[in-house]
Amino acid sequence: MRDVIILGGGPAGLQAALTLGRLHRSVLLLDAGRYRNDPADHMHNFLAQDGTPPAELRHAARADLEAYDTVEVRDASADQVSGSTDDFSVRLADGSVEQARRIVLATGLRDEVPDVPGLAELWHEGDLVAHCPFCHGHEMAGRVVGVLGAERAGHLVAMMGPVAASLVVLDDDEPVDPAVAASLAERGASLVAGKVDRVERSADGLVAVVEGEPVALGGLFVGPTSTQAAPFAAQLGLTTLPSGGVEVDPMGRTSAEGVFAAGDMAHEATLPMAMAAVLVAAASGLKAGAACVQSLL
């Protein structure tokens, strides 16, 4: 029986392990080896780490954990979490079972990009297609930047206006709100109507083919659909918010006693959306780790 099992070895889980390890709590961290920012070669918007490859950050965090004898990091996938406070069981994919008094969920989100041929491949290559201007907007500076879909177009055009050379909204045959269309025109963004047939890499960026006509772009913003990467919140019956995020208080406590959540999978109800960023995930891991210690006292 360990003090805590942490599910997830991204920035949220690794920081929770560090916080718990520093108080000599016995911890098992399980990591299935799939990370949300796998498609990105470099991460941004993190002080002193701007441009660091995400794998390098995780590697350094794991190296830090080696100094703490009570922390075990294991490359393993889990498939079930059950029980209640002081008596949780976690079943691993190999059928073995581990037990702990507390659980920290840090299993992140999984993204699915819109169903446009060629888009998933470019998303996984990572340098031309992005979803977050804070993370990858600057890397598209001075280029013609596309925005796929009408839904987030107004917002993204406004955010990327000072960064991009120009902006092109591909409505992908979605209706564009007249107020949004007017704001796009005001900001000098062009609107290309029609279904996007496919996107593909070109010599100097990418090309979106819209009803047979090529539109040359230097980068493209898309809105993926994000869902929980693991089934544990549902298995434990945790309260979720309309965003799909597990509801947490500012210290990462969920609706179930003894279960904490951190990182992208968790959502504080006072915030309009889960703040999905590496630094925020690490900070929330620290808070969940500290709250765990508090609840074990």
Ligand X SMILES: Cc1cc2nc3c(=O)[nH]c(=O)nc-3n(C[C@H](O)[C@H](O)[C@H](O)COP(=O)(O)OP(=O)(O)OC[C@H]3O[C@@H](n4cnc5c(N)ncnc54)[C@H](O)[C@@H]3O)c2cc1C
| By CB under 6 A, residue 90 contacts ligand X | no
Asked if 264 is part of the footprint of ligand X (rule: CB under 6 A), the reply reads: yes
The answer to whether residues 170 and 157 touch, using CB atoms and an 8 Å cutoff, is no
Nearest Cα to Cα of residue 152 among 206, 220, 229, 247? 220
Q: Binding pattern to ligand X, positions 34-63, x when CB under 6 A?
A: xxxx-xx--xxxx-----------------
User: Which amino acid, residue 262?
Assistant: A
Unique residue bearing structure tokens 């500076």: 141
Q: Which is nearer to ligand X, 191 or 262 (CB)?
A: 262
Q: Which of 4, 5, 6, 12 binds ligand X (CB under 6 A)?
A: 12
77 near ligand X, rule: CB under 6 A: yes
Is 8 a binding residue for ligand X by CB under 6 A? The answer is yes
Q: From residue 165 to residue 184, what is the string marking binding to ligand X with x (rule CB under 6 A)?
A: --------------------
- The CB-of-67 to ligand X minimum distance in angstroms stands at 20
Task: Output phi, psi for 121, to 5 deg.
Answer: -65, -45
Residue 9 or 210 with smaller CB distance to ligand X: 9
Please report how close the Cβ of residue 80 comes to ligand X at its closest, in angstroms. Answer: 9
Interface with ligand X includes 7 (CB under 6 A)?
Answer: yes
If the CB atoms of residues 139 and 197 are measured against ligand X, the closer one turns out to be 139
Nearer to ligand X, 43 or 167 (CB): 43
HSE-up of residue 137 (Cα within 13 Å, Cβ side): 17
Residue 107 in contact with ligand X, rule: CB under 6 A = yes
Contact flag: residue 281 with ligand X (CB under 6 A): yes
Distance CA 280, CA 245 (A): 15
What is residue 238's three-state secondary structure? Answer: coil
3-state SS of 157-223 is HHHHCCCCCEEEEECCCCCCCHHHHHHHHHCCCEEECCCEEEEEEECCEEEEEECCEEEEECEEECC
Indicate the burial class of 189 (C-beta count within 10 angstroms; 0-12, 13-18, 19 or more).
buried
**Which residues here bind ligand X, judged by CB under 6 A?**
7-13, 30-37, 39-40, 43-46, 77-78, 106-108, 111, 135, 229-230, 263-264, 276-279, 281
